[in-house]
Every structure is written in structure tokens, then in C-alpha cells.
Amino acid sequence: MAMTQRLAVGLVLAINLVALAEQERMPSKKNLEGAHWELHALGIVNEQMRSQLVTMAVRRPVTVAIVGLGGVSKSLLANYFVDNPLAKPHWLPWFNAFEYRESADDPKAETHDTRQVRVILELTMLLGIRVRLLVYQPPDSYEAIGKAFEKAGREADIIVCFHSFWGEKVSLLAEKTRQTSNSLFIAPYVEYQNLPTGTSWQAHARKHDGSGIAHFITCIPLAKRTPGELLHPSARDANDTEAINFIAPSFSANGPGETSPAAATTTAVAAFVIAASVRKPTPNEVVQILRETVAVDREALTSLAEFDDETVKRIETEISYLTKPTHYGQRKLDAEGILNLRNIYRRLVSESIPPATRPARGMIRPMRPKVCIQKDSIELENAHFIAQISTKPTLMLRRLFNKHTLSECIASGQSSPLFAVSVDENLMTSDKFEVVGARSSSKGSEAVLKLSLRSPMITAELSATLNESCRMQLSLEVMNTDAKPHQLRIFFPLLNHLLIGDVKENYYFYPFKGGWTSNVPFHLGHGYGTPTGSLQVISVFNPILGGGVYVWVKDRSGAMKTLWLRKVEQDGVMPPVYEALRQEMRASKIPFDLASGISIAFSPLPIVLAPNQRLTLPDAVIGVHAGDWREALKSYTSWVRTWWRPPNPKVPVWFRRCFNICALHEHESMKRMRYSGPEKLRPSHHLFQWSVWWEHPEVDRFNRPKPGNWYRLAFGDYQYELRWGGLEALQQEIKRIHNAGLRVVMYVQSYLVWKHSRLGKEHGDDWVARSATLKPLEDWTSEETDMDVWDFCVGTPAYQEYVAKTCKRILTETGADGIYLDSAADAYPCYDKRHGHGNEPARFSLEMLRKVRKAIKEANPQAILHIEDVCSEHHLQFIDGAWLKEFEMYPPMSNYTPHFTAYPIFFLRFYFPEVWFADWGTGDYAPGWRWCLFNGIGTCRWPNDYTARTGRVMKENAEAFATLQPEPLVKTEKEGVLANRFPTRNKIIYTVYNRNADEVSGVLLKVPHRDNWHYVELLSGDEVRFETRGAEDLLSFAVPANEVVVVAQLPKVLDVHQQGNCLRVQLLRKVSQPRLVLLTTQEPDDLGQLVPLRNGKAQIELSQLNLKSHLVVLKLFSGEELVDSAAVKVF
């Protein structure tokens, strides 16, 4: 063993059990041979499995600290990965995050630690884990190394040390390790000759019996170079204290005794656990997951060249030997198997799937609602709930009891304020107000409280009303009775300490964009009336108990407000924070604490109240229910439907048939210097959105030549670029795209205007939006690039008219099919009184949308208006469609989206089906494509083979996917299998999503039976087997892990059978505009061959077909809509 002894400090460093080989671990940069071998031995035997792990590892980045004496070369590692084709650009921030600490520097040499770090980075790269690497290189003294452990523990998830420390003072390092309990420590297992094991650092690691340091583990390798051999530690005497925690596959270890590479592999596996878990696990929880998922994966091992059945038997024998006590009584091996990523993945997947919502236990018995005002409290009760509000000594909600679940909804020993008022940044909750009067209505269904705050002098009136429904209504009016004005920010309604059973079983629905669901602790703050908002409802529910609580407000104005939610699972521990709020919507103080449970608050924009001025808040609704989020959304949208109206005129049918949207910015036209849409149009393209088609100056305002793409932000005038051929060339290109079967939508920006455009020069000073200090708002200002852009005020009527007329002109002149009005949901407050508007940006954008949609319908009644994001349900009344970033996987959203898909539902699609929706942000994130298919919405990226295939199926069945009666999450027959239903009179579509880690098969759906109907899986064309029992059909089919299939219930119209070398087809009933198509391949762009029909019959000669398989699919259409499908095995 290479060993250095520092006599001055009495410290011996042992790198590992055998002398390190001089051979460098340098597998091919192109294929990462070593990392792939290790993944294979860890149970990940194919690319599909690896991709499944990658989709889970996006939940959070992992910080790994390397503490050692030999140094790590950043330059060698950076060069290694930059040239690797697997290292896509989003991996490069690894090296930006590579930080040297403790006087560490780049040795620029292939050091021992550099080799081990390469193992970690190769594996974590293939697993899709974002790693922040910290390198500590302390002086070689116990004290310095202990301090490095302590410092690393302040920010690192994992601390790895590839060295061993021996000596009398090793207890100092052990104590520092024990104290640094927020980090998982990983080290290679070591022995050295006859040194007393109790004097080694590794001797203090976790033992099988639970003794030792629980968050400190050691490892040995399953080495490729010595298949089937495991290290046999010495059992030297009764004082032997060392133990092995894990066996890890290693491509580079020279043999069972070279243990450092095993620590590197273990680090990557532990990093995956941290990155992919629903909640960030503690170090002890990581160890427990690793221990409970080890295995001897015979299938994975024997598929490698180094292992056969005999070798695997030998491994099992070795493991059995190591787990038996030696004659001195110790057990050397803790976990009885080899680290196994496949089992880890299975476990983490199962933890990410919410349990099925169980029936609530309570029996609801009719009773007359009653409100009882007592000396120090008010009790409200009906058949569904009991609410108790204390009036003395403080005004608080003391109790909320759900009779459906027979459970309290407020944590034991806690109570909740009902509102809070921040007066000039001084926050006061309802318990600071004195109750100076209380009365009930004559009918006994309402309680009214008079409230007073002494300093400053604020009065309020709070009323609570209930009826026979499962909810009560709260009303609040506030008055400034002080002698001077005050700025008020009001939090109403406000509920703290909601807790329904076990806190980990408390899920929530939060209306970020299309809707988020989760049970993960988080602090969230987002704006209704802004691009991150959509609805005014929040739900908390426990699927195990079968019920929950919802809160929403009766605000028809569309006014901006902040919706706050905080879930705390451990008292005193602040959860991760995600607030995407404009400055005016932020709050310096929020009326939440850090007690376990969920807190909810709604907060309108601050307002200055003059003396004796009143403010009436929108009424709030607090309800209890059986079931889950569906009940909350049903309650809220039922109220919305009392005033909300669908877009008028209706969304055109052609637009509802678009599912693959291709967005093109300047690239093609800039490259070719002519108007140029997509050169290679695929049949899977449905709609083309064209941006940066307008004129671009040849020089900037400094008369400097600039390439055109510097002016991609030259918004405002929207005239045609003469250097690209002008309007005539653009018209011809749009015709070409139309002839290829696509629709074309032109990009227009709603409020950004280039300062040096004609519009900017003429109206910039008049129409620009201004801050409270009357400073013009501007974006992307840069003297160097001359991309100066103003934010125009969307609330200015003259500018609204300009945008509307411009959109109408563009459609009239170009023949395009619609307008994409970018950022239309992103209006800013404006304080310029010359504009003659109030200061409610959400209303500005509503008026803009009204005018623009009216104008484009005048140009072409079949033209459409679509936007990005929606702000609120109000906006949905004045658009044809919107794309959102519900499943966005680009930074920073990639840090959050994976946490909030407990129920992967695009909620707006199901509760506002009159509007067209798509998701813009899925990018290359494969689960996002599947979620779009599952929800029956489009994707907004250049189609790939998957979206090409699914988009074709959706377009062929657009009538169903665009149904106005979609049903989210209908009942299925297996846990972890979800299904949405899209019914029409002529067919019913079920999208079925298997969230499990493995394929499921068997009876998955039970659906109402219909005579002479059958079932087809539309992506493959296969017939689905079913058995009729009574009034139900039991459907049996298979769904691979993490996949979505599309099952259609279709009328049996096609009768197909083979006679010799001929297929004979007959239609069993008359079909309008029949079209029969034959497909002989599964290629995504294969639209098939048209088969002539005569009198409802067709004949197909098989010898004339170029058959690539024995399965052919016949599709019968009525116009563009699929009527029936039949798969035929031909011989």
C-alpha cells in the first residue's frame, strides 16, 4: 500500500488495501465504456431503463464534496467531458460549479482522486444528475481535515474521502464526522497490515447492528477484472471494529482489494437517491434505501461477458460468507447484496405515486344549518362540518371538523387566524383585533363580528355565512379610522396549520399555470392575474382519509392577487421556496409560521386607504369535502360558470385539430436571407408559428453594420423585410406551407417595442409604461447590441387599437391563419396618469385581447388568436387557445416541475374544454411528451418521432380529443395506472398512463358495454381483448413502464378477412365521405396507402404490397376523422 507517515502529527495515510495501479481509468470518451458497464451491473441493462432514471433525477441538484490530500484536476475533467458527445450543453454548468476550497488548486495531473471523481462524473452524467463539485485539499493534520469535514458539511449532500486515516487521534475525525450529520460520508473500506482497526477512521462507520456513525458508510468493489471475487477482510481479534456496508460494481478496480473505485460508484448511486427522491432524504434515509434495495441481480450480471451462472453463484456464496459472524463474533458485511439502481428506481417510483383516494368514512346526515354565538366563541355547524371561531381572548379559527372524513382539519393544539392586515409593513393577524360586537342574522345562518384595532386605528367587519352545502362563506370589510392614510396589504382568506391526518399524506392542489399537485414541503407564492396564475382556488386533501379542505375567492374582476401556500413537515424547518412574483406582489412579511402543516393565504395588491375610506374584500369560501382535488375544482368552476362565457365566436374546428405545433424563429430566414419556413415539412406538422418575419435594419442607430439576428427584438412596426423578398415572397412561402397541409400563425409581441422603430420614435414617450417614479419601463437595453426595447402600456387605449389594427393588417395581407400574441398575459402596472386608466394590469391585457380577437375575426372569421400563459380564467373568454409551460423542463423550472406532478393533469384542459391548449416547455423531456398525450393536448416543439406518431393519432381522433366533456382520472383496475376519458357520440378515447416502474398487464379498465363496438389501441393498431360481464366490458392489455397508450372504443364497421393472397373488406354500415387507408409499417410519418372503396367493399392483393411484417392495419375515415380500425395478421 502506498503510505505516507507524518511523524509530527502522528498520522498515517493509507490510500487503499493494495498498491494503486499506474493504469489510468480512461475509457473511450465516445461511449463511456466503464460507466455503461457499471450501470449494467447495477441493474440498468438497456437505454430505456437508463432514460427512465434520467427523468427522475431532475428533481434536485446534488452537491458532492471531495476531501483529500492528492488534489483533483478540474482542467483534466473539463477537457474529458467537453469533447464527449453525450455531454450535451446542459451538462457544461458542472464545470462552472466545480469549486476549489481550502487552498486547493488544480494539480493538472491524473491524480488518484481525479480518477475517482471521473468515475463519479461519468455515472452521474449518464444518470442525468446535476452535480456541484467542491474540492477540499486541507493540510495533512487531523485538525485541518476535521475542519474541512465540518466546512463541507455546511453545504454538501455527500462528503467523499478516498483515503484512510490512522492513529491515536483518529477519534477527532470520527467526532467531526458524527457532528456533520447533514452529509452522507462515503469512504473505501480499508485495512492495513496489523494496525489496530480501532485506530482507523473507517472503523467508526455504520455497523450491521446499527452501531457506529449512521451516516458514514464504506464500500468494496465487485471488480470487472476479477469476476466473482470479493474482498475477504481479516478477522484478527475480538477488537476488530471494521465493517463493509456495500458492494459496488467497478470497471476500473484492479481487484477486490482496490476499494476506492467502489466508493466512487457508491457516491453516484447515493447521488441518484438524493436527486430522484420525492422528498430530499436525510443521509440516514439514503443509507436505508441503499440497504433495502441491494440484490444479486442474476439477469443483469449474466448479461455481462464477465459473469456466468457459476460466477454469480460464487458471488452469492461470498456474500453469504461475509454476512455470517466470524469466530470472533463480528459480521463483516452489512447489506446482503450488490447496490442495485433498478430496485432503487422501483422504490422511488412507488413513493412518488399518490395512493388511490379511499372512500370517506363519515355518514352525512341531513341537519339544519345553525350558528350559535356564545360568550367567547361562535360555532357554525351543518351536515358537513363544524367550525368554531373564538372571539375571546383572541379572534381565531379554533376548529374545523370534516364530517366526511371524521377528522379535524387544524393541527392539534393549534388555531388559525382568519385574516391578516399589514399596515405600513407592520403585520397584524386577526388575533390582534378586538371583537367589539357580535350578532347573528334573523335566520340564524350568519354571524357578524365588529372588530377594532387600536394602533393604528383600523376597524373591520367579518361575517361568516353557511347553508346546507359543504362550505361556509366569509366576508371582510376594512376601514381606516385613523387620522392619516395607511398602506394596507390584506391576507384574506387566511388558514394556518391545516393538517388532515399524517402530514406526509397531505397533498395540495395549487393553481400555478395549469395546476400543480404535490405532497412535498414547499413555500409557494405566485400571482393570479400574472403569467404564473390561472385560478383562484387551493385544495388540501388526504387520499388515505378520503377528503380535505378547499379555499377559493368569489372575485369576478380578474384583479391581481398573490396566492401563498406553505407546507411544513418538520417543526421549525423552512421548506424550499419558490416565488415568481413581481415586486408589487411580494410581501416582506407573510402570516405563516414553521409549525407542521399547511398554510394558505390570498393577498390582493396593496392599497392606500385614506382616513374613513372603506375596502370590501371579495368573499371567501372555505369548504370541506370527501374525495380529492376534483371536489375543490368542481366547487370552484361551478361558481365560475355562473359568469364565465366561452370564446365567442367559437374556437375554429381546424385549430382544435392541431396538436403538433412547430415554432420557427429567425434561423431559416436569417441563414438564407429570404423568407423561408420549414424546408422539410413532416406529415406530423399541424401548425407553423412564424416569428421574426418583420423588417430588420441593416445598420444600428450608430450606423454600425449588424447581422440581422441582432434585431430579433425589433418589435413594433411589423413591416416586411425587402431583402428577403418583401410581402410577395412571404405570401408565396405561406401558400407553400398551406399546400403542405399546415396552418400558419404569425408572431406579434403585445407590449415590447424597439425604441428605434417608427412606432417607438413616434409614440414612445406617450405610450411607454412608467414605474411609480414615472421612469419608463424597458427591457434588454444595451448600448453594445442596440437592442433597446421599451415596455409599452397595454392599458393605453390608443396602443390597444394600434395592436389590433396591426394584427388585422397582417392577416389580410399575408393570408395567414392567425396571430400568436406573445406576452399578452404579462402586462405591467403603469403609473402614467395621462393614459387615463387605473392600475390593474390584468384588466389591461383583457381589453387588449378583446380588441385584437375582434379585429382578426373581421379579417377572417376562421382566424385564431393564441397566447402564451393565461393569467386567469377571464383571459380564456377572449382567446382561441394558449400554450402554457405546465410541464416545463428548462431552468429554472426544471428545479420545480418534477415536484408538482403527483397527479400529472393539465387541469385547465378538463375544466375549460372550450379553449385549445398545448404545452410549450416539454423540450426533450420525454415524460412531458407523454403527459401531453395523456391530457389530450398539443406540444409546441419541432416534432420528433414520438410526437409525430402521437400527434397523428390525436389528429385522426380530434373530435374526441377536443371533446367538451373530458373526464380526468377515471377509475382503473390497477394501482399506479391512470386513465383520462374523452367521449363523443361516435367514439370514446381512453388515454392510459402506467406510472409504475415495470410493465403492467391484465384487466386495466372496466367500461360500459355497447353492442357491436370493439376496442383498439391506436398507437399500435392492435385489437384490445375484452370480456363482457353484465353491463361492463373488462379490457385486458399491457402498458410498458412510464408509457401512455390510447385505447379507443369504436363501432364495429370494418369486416376484414383473408382469402388466400387477398384481403377482403366490407363496411357493415354506411359512412359519410368514407376513406380507407392501409398501413404496412409503424413509421411515424407513414400515412399509408389509400384503398379504393366500391359500394362499401374493397379488395387488397397482398402480393402487391411491400410487407415488412405480418401485421397490417386498416383505418376507415369519415373525412379526416377515424371511424374504425382493424389490425390483421396476414400469412
Q: pLDDT tens digits for 271-299?
A: 999 999 999 999 999 999 999 999 999 99
Residue 952 forms part of a structural domain: yes
Which cell numbers hold the place of 574? 423552512
Same domain? 1042 vs 1062: no
DSSP element (H, E) containing 762? helix 758-767
Residue 740 forms part of a structural domain: yes
Which residue has cell 414547499?
A: 522
The region, left, alpha or beta by phi > 0 then psi within -120 to 50, assigned to residue 319 is alpha
Q: What pLDDT, on the 0 to 100 scale, is given for residue 95?
A: 42
In the predicted model, is pLDDT for residue 583 greater than 90? no
Same domain? 850 vs 708: yes
CA-to-CA distance for 55 and 927, rounded, in angstroms?
Answer: 7
212 vs 1087, residue with greater confidence: 212
Contacts of 741 (CB under 8 A, 6+ apart): 681, 683, 685
Which residue has cell 473505485?
A: 261
What is the share, in percent, of the chain residues with pLDDT greater than 90? 69
Q: What pLDDT, on the 0 to 100 scale, is given for residue 6?
A: 27
Q: What is the pLDDT of residues 831-871, one digit of tens each?
A: 899 998 887 788 888 999 999 999 999 999 999 999 988 88
Q: What is the pLDDT of residues 1004-1029, one digit of tens each?
A: 999 999 999 999 999 999 999 999 99
Domain tally, the chain: 5
What's the CATH number where 924 sits?
2.60.40.1180
Which residue has cell 383585533?
A: 433
Same domain? 1082 vs 1021: no
Contacts of 620 (CB under 8 A, 6+ apart): 473, 474, 475, 476, 492, 493, 551, 552, 553, 554, 602
870 vs 403, residue with greater confidence: 403
Q: What pLDDT, on the 0 to 100 scale, is given for residue 85?
A: 42
Q: What pLDDT, on the 0 to 100 scale, is given for residue 438?
A: 93
Which cell numbers hold the place of 119? 468515475
**Binning pLDDT at 50, 70 and 90, where does residue 27 land?**
very low
Which cell numbers hold the place of 863? 382566424
Average pLDDT over residues 950-968: 96
Same domain? 79 vs 208: yes
* DSSP codes of every residue in 272-320: HHHHHSSSPPPHHHHHHHHHHH-B--HHHHHTSTT--HHHHHHHHHHHH
Same domain? 262 vs 153: yes
Residue 22 forms part of a structural domain: no
In the predicted model, is pLDDT for residue 202 greater than 60? yes
DSSP element (H, E) containing 851? helix 841-859
pLDDT, averaged across the chain:
89
Residue 319 forms part of a structural domain: yes
Q: Domain range spanning residue 79?
A: 32-352
Q: What pLDDT, on the 0 to 100 scale, is given for residue 1056?
A: 94
Angle between helices 260-276 and 47-56 (to 10 degrees): 60
CA-to-CA distance for 39 and 303, rounded, in angstroms?
Answer: 12
Average pLDDT over residues 674-696: 81
**Binning pLDDT at 50, 70 and 90, where does residue 92 land?**
very low
* φ/ψ (deg, to 5) at 923: 55, -130
Same domain? 1006 vs 968: yes
Look at residues 447, 453, 409, 411 and name the one whose alpha carbon lies nearest to residue 431.
Answer: 453
**Neighbouring-strand partners of residue 347:** none
Same domain? 663 vs 699: yes
Q: What pLDDT, on the 0 to 100 scale, is given for residue 8?
A: 24
Q: Is the dihedral of CA 936, 942, 945, 949 positive or negative?
A: positive
Q: What is the pLDDT of residues 974-994, one digit of tens each?
A: 999 999 999 999 999 999 999
In the predicted model, is pLDDT for residue 943 greater than 70? no
Give the residue from 293, 326, 352 where a domain finishes: 352
Q: What is the pLDDT of residues 477-509, one digit of tens each?
A: 999 999 999 999 999 999 999 999 999 999 999
Residue 6 forms part of a structural domain: no
Q: Kindly provide the residue ranges of all beta strands, DSSP E only, lying in 869-1011, ordered along the sequence.
A: 881-884, 916-919, 938-939, 977-983, 988-994, 1000-1008
The CA-based angle 26-28-30, given to 5 degrees, is 140
In the predicted model, is pLDDT for residue 690 greater than 80? yes
3-state secondary structure at position 420 = strand
Residue 13 forms part of a structural domain: no
Same domain? 260 vs 395: no
Give the residue from 1052, 1073, 1099 where a domain finishes: 1052
Work out the burial of residue 1119: count CB atoms within 10 Å of its CB; fewer than 13 is exposed, 13-18 middle, 19 or more buried.
exposed
Angle between helices 945-956 and 926-935 (to 10 degrees): 0
Same domain? 231 vs 100: yes
Q: What pLDDT, on the 0 to 100 scale, is given for residue 361?
A: 94
Q: What pLDDT, on the 0 to 100 scale, is given for residue 198?
A: 74
Which residue has cell 463480528?
A: 330
CA-to-CA distance for 564 and 667, rounded, in angstroms?
Answer: 41
Residue 360 forms part of a structural domain: no
What's the CATH number where 601 sits?
2.70.98.60
In the predicted model, is pLDDT for residue 514 greater than 50? yes
Q: What pLDDT, on the 0 to 100 scale, is given for residue 1068?
A: 96
Judged by average pLDDT, the poorest of 405-414, 738-747, 772-781 is: 772-781
* φ/ψ (deg, to 5) at 470: -90, 20
606: how many CB neighbours lie within 10 A of its CB? 15
Q: Is the dihedral of CA 401, 404, 409, 411 positive or negative?
A: positive
Same domain? 867 vs 931: no
Average pLDDT over residues 569-592: 91
In the predicted model, is pLDDT for residue 1109 greater than 90? no
Work out the burial of residue 143: count CB atoms within 10 Å of its CB; fewer than 13 is exposed, 13-18 middle, 19 or more buried.
middle
Average pLDDT over residues 4-16: 29
Burial annotation 28-49 (CB, 10 A radius, 16+ → b, else e):
ebeebebbbbbbbbbbbbeeeb
What's the CATH number where 872 sits?
3.20.20.80
Residue 27 forms part of a structural domain: no
Which cell numbers hold the place of 44? 440498468
Distance of CA 980 to the CA centre of its chain: 19
919 vs 186, residue with greater confidence: 186
- Count of CA atoms in the C-beta half-sphere (13 A) of 1085: 10
In the predicted model, is pLDDT for residue 745 greater than 90? yes
Same domain? 731 vs 746: yes
**Binning pLDDT at 50, 70 and 90, where does residue 197 land?**
confident
Alpha-helix runs per DSSP H in 218-259: none
What's the CATH number where 348 sits?
3.40.50.200
Contacts of 226 (CB under 8 A, 6+ apart): 254, 255, 256
* φ/ψ (deg, to 5) at 671: -70, -40
CA-to-CA distance for 541 and 356, rounded, in angstroms?
Answer: 12
Which cell numbers hold the place of 667? 434561423
The CA-based angle 84-87-91, given to 5 degrees, is 145
Q: What pLDDT, on the 0 to 100 scale, is given for residue 10?
A: 26
Q: What pLDDT, on the 0 to 100 scale, is given for residue 1?
A: 28
Same domain? 902 vs 1034: yes
Q: What is the pTM of this model?
A: 0.91
Q: Which of 238-242, 720-724, 801-805 has the highest mean pLDDT?
A: 801-805
Contacts of 903 (CB under 8 A, 6+ apart): 354, 517, 628, 629, 969, 978
Dihedral in degrees, nearest 10, Cα atoms 948, 949, 953, 958: -10
Give the residue from 992, 1020, 1052 where a domain finishes: 1052
Which cell numbers hold the place of 776? 419608463
Q: Are 738 and 684 in contact, with CB atoms under 8 Å apart?
A: no
CA-to-CA distance for 662 and 647, rounded, in angstroms?
Answer: 24
Average pLDDT over residues 358-381: 94
CA-to-CA distance for 640 and 636, rounded, in angstroms?
Answer: 6
In the predicted model, is pLDDT for residue 4 greater than 50? no
What is the share, in percent, of the chain residues with pLDDT greater than 70? 90
In the predicted model, is pLDDT for residue 354 greater than 70? yes
Which amino acid belongs to residue 94?
A: W
Q: Are 566 and 598 in contact, with CB atoms under 8 Å apart?
A: yes
Average pLDDT over residues 238-250: 84
In the predicted model, is pLDDT for residue 17 greater than 70? no
CA-to-CA distance for 843 and 555, rounded, in angstroms?
Answer: 13
Q: Give 432's DSSP letter.
A: G
Which cell numbers hold the place of 1053? 364497421
Q: What pLDDT, on the 0 to 100 scale, is given for residue 620?
A: 98
